[in-house]
Structure 1
Amino acid sequence: MSRFKFFSDEEPVHVENKTDTQYDKVVDIEKTDPILLKYRCEQTVATKLNNVITNHATTKREFHVKNRIDNGNLIVEVLLFDNIIQINPSNLSEAMDLFSSLDLIKCNITVQVDRETGKINKILNYGEVLKNWESFKGNIKERYSFLRSSNAEIELQKFIYLAEAQIKDEKLLIEDIHTKLFFDLFFDRYLVKLSDLYKPYTLNYHSQLFEGIAVPLHVSSEIIFEKPSTVELKKQGKIEIKEIDINAIKKQYDQKFQPIVGYKFSDYDFQYQVRQVVNTDLSLIEETDLFLAEEVKNNVEVVVDYKLRRIE
Structure 2
Amino acid sequence: MSRFKFFEEEQVNIVDDHKTKLNKKAEPKISEPVLLKYRCEQTVATKLNNVITNHATTKREFHIKNIIDNGSLIVEVSLVDNIIKINPTHLSEAMDLFSSLDLIKCNVKVLVDQETGKIKKILNYSEVLNSWENFKALLKERYSFLRSSGAEIELKKFIYLAEAQIKDEKILIEDIHTKLFFDLFFDRYLVNLSEVYKPFTLGYNSQLFEGISVPLHISSEIVFEKPLFVELKKQSKIDVNEVDISTIKKKYDQKFQPIVGYKFSSYDFQYQVRQIINTELSLIEETDVFIMEEVKNNVEVIVDYKLRRIE
TM-score when normalising by structure 2:
0.94
Higher mean C-alpha displacement, 297-306 vs 20-29: 20-29
Q: Which residue of 2 aligns with 1:249?
A: 248
**2:27 counterpart of 1:27:** yes
Cα deviation 1:79-105 (Å, max 9, x = unaligned): 001010000000000000000000000
- What pairs with 1:227-242 in structure 2 (closer than 5 Å)? 227-242=226-241
Which ranges in structure 1 are unaligned for 5 or more consecutive residues?
Answer: 6-10
Residue 182 of structure 1 aligns to a residue whose secondary structure is helix
Between the two proteins, the alignment pairs up a number of residues equal to: 303
**2:74 counterpart of 1:75:** yes
Question: RMSD across aligned C-alpha pairs, in angstroms?
Answer: 1.7
- What pairs with 1:149-160 in structure 2 (closer than 5 Å)? 149-160=148-159
* Equivalent pair of 1:288/1:307 in contact (CA under 8 Å): yes
Describe the shift of the 1:162–1:121 C-alpha distance in structure 2 as closer, same or farther (beyond 3 A): same
Residue 122 of structure 1 aligns to a residue whose secondary structure is strand
* Equivalent pair of 2:62/2:81 in contact (CA under 8 Å): yes
Residue identity opposite 1:93 in structure 2:
S
CA distance in structure 2 between the aligned counterparts of 1:13 and 1:150, rounded to whole angstroms: 64
CA distance in structure 2 between the aligned counterparts of 1:86 and 1:24, rounded to whole angstroms: 43
CA distance in structure 2 between the aligned counterparts of 1:226 and 1:193, rounded to whole angstroms: 17
Which ranges in structure 2 are unaligned for 5 or more consecutive residues?
Answer: 5-9
Cα deviation 1:44-66 (Å, max 9, x = unaligned): 00000000000000000000000
CA distance in structure 1 between the aligned counterparts of 2:241 and 2:11, rounded to whole angstroms: 32
Cα deviation 1:240-291 (Å, max 9, x = unaligned): 1111111111111111111111111110001111100000000000000000
* Equivalent pair of 2:116/2:187 in contact (CA under 8 Å): yes
Q: Percent identity between the aligned chains?
A: 76
CA distance in structure 2 between the aligned counterparts of 1:45 and 1:309, rounded to whole angstroms: 18
* Equivalent pair of 1:43/1:59 in contact (CA under 8 Å): yes
Q: Which residue of 2 aligns with 1:63?
A: 62
**2:111 counterpart of 1:109:** no
- Please list every run of at least 4 consecutive aligned residues from structure 1 whose deviation after the TM superposition is greater than 6 angstroms: none
Q: Which residue of 1 aligns with 2:287?
A: 288
Q: Which residue of 2 aligns with 1:8?
A: none
Residue 218 of structure 1 aligns to a residue whose secondary structure is strand
* Equivalent pair of 2:28/2:68 in contact (CA under 8 Å): no
Residue 24 of structure 1, CA deviation: 1.6
Residue identity opposite 2:197 in structure 1:
Y
Residue identity opposite 1:182 in structure 2:
F
CA distance in structure 2 between the aligned counterparts of 1:61 and 1:28, rounded to whole angstroms: 28
